[in-house]
Structure 1
């Protein structure tokens, strides 16, 4: 968390903290679904995100390298004994994480205006989703993300936007009290 603040303030010093926006040619075209209107850029973002999630899931569960990554994350000594080069797996996981962060930033930049400070709350919410879903569980992270999004939007609708983050943390605390490993986490 401290590194986030260092990077944010460094980027403000190097550039500015002006709010910027990427103009999308799809943002003015909407799909009318009765009471729901959704812009094409949001549909593209949803499709892009789904494609990334499915690809990541298949990569981690169906390929030898993906299995090696998961083995390294669960027990690096056992993975090493099985012949996995854990240093390569650490570098690969860092690269995959960086690519996912870049993809998320690109999608977020197209959908919403951005500045150097925009990533703090989403980063904390991502941490919340990972904990609620269960460490190491991709389906858990997906379900927890959808659940958190729904809870936050219901909170905005009924109580106002000021409470959405507080409700997210209350949900996190409730899940940790009821099931400390997260909803889909495994006991080791």
Structure 2
């Protein structure tokens, strides 16, 4: 019985850790979609860039990679702003097909650029806490995973405070709810698009950094599958709903790890979409999506 409890606790804990990575990635994607209504399949490449930017800063400075988040996040914001202005703003409102092809093109451009700069060999970042575990009674857990959960919570709280307690955050929410009405109220919606895209890219980059610091290996082509899962998560939780992205990320993380334990790793990726299909059959708008008239 003790063994069963230990295994269940371990699966749940690993699911929460994985869910935190998915939450940051999907929240950034959902924030961008909620404001700009664009389909960006290249969102996973910001996750990949986050890992490499932190890796570069870590090699150059030797600082704690968690502290380097404070440097990599602003860099990702700038990259996101540049991508929005140069690639997505000119085609905004011209049709989803244009957005899809631009984002697919960005995938190849960013991947090959990263491979050119850092090569396509697998790399990893060594956390200074990698050998430290904490006894939670039922299981011993790596301290890195607890730090990752804490950092995720801090970033989400910071995002909430920004969106609900600052003028810019309220302007972003107004743009998301009624773009034309926001313009009539004097809000510069193009500036809100730019800020939102930068924040979304930064959240994806933070997810990549935390993923790498936990001991996972990475290369320039790692972003495609997480991006597809992020789309599954935001559809599962409800398009444009940040609480939905959080709930969907946790659900996918828990289900994936439970499936990997019971059915094997081969089903780990497929189960995300099985869960999506089941939810959409009973609730087509997602868990937190609103009914449209």
Q: TM-score, normalised by structure 1?
A: 0.92
CA RMSD of aligned residues (A): 1.6
Out of 193, 196, 205, the position equivalent to 1:102 is: 205
Check the 8 A contact 1:57/1:138 in 2, yes or no.
Answer: no
Write the mapping of 1:48-127 to structure 2, written as runs, cut at 5 A.
48-111=151-214, 112-127=216-231
Give the Cα–Cα distance (whole angstroms) in 1 for the partners of residues 229 and 110 of structure 2: 19
What is the number of equivalent residue pairs in this alignment? 188
Structure 1 residue aligned with 2:249, among 139, 145, 148? 145
Higher relative contact order (CA 8 A, sep 6+): 2
What residue number does 1:165 align with?
269
Equivalence for 2:259: 155
1:36 to 132, 139, 143: 139
Question: What corresponds to 1:22 in structure 2?
Answer: 125
Q: Which moved more, 1:100-109 or 1:144-153?
A: 100-109
Aligned equivalents of 2:120, 2:140: Cα separation in 1 = 32
Q: Shift of the alpha carbon at 1:79?
A: 1.0
Displacement of 1:168 after TM fit? Answer: 0.7
Offset from partner CA, 1:78-101 (integer Å, 9 cap, x none): 111122110110111012112212
How far residue 150 of structure 1 moved from its aligned partner, in angstroms, is 0.9
How much has 1:173 moved relative to structure 2? 1.6
Per-residue deviation, residues 21-46 of structure 1 (Å, max 9, x unmatched): 11111011001223422211221111
Structure 2 spans left out of the alignment, 5+ residues? 1-40, 42-103
Deviations along 1:49-82, one digit per CA (max 9) or x if unpaired, are: 1100111122212333212102212321111112
Alignment CA distance shift 1:21-1:152 (3 Å)? same
- Unmatched tracts of structure 1, length 5 or more: none
Q: Is contact 1:8-1:116 (8 Å) kept?
A: yes
CA distance in structure 2 between the aligned counterparts of 1:8 and 1:145, rounded to whole angstroms? 25
TM-score when scaled to structure 2?
Answer: 0.61
CA shift digits 1:137-170 (9 cap, x unpaired): 2111111111111111111111011111111111
45-54 vs 32-41, greater mean Cα deviation? 32-41
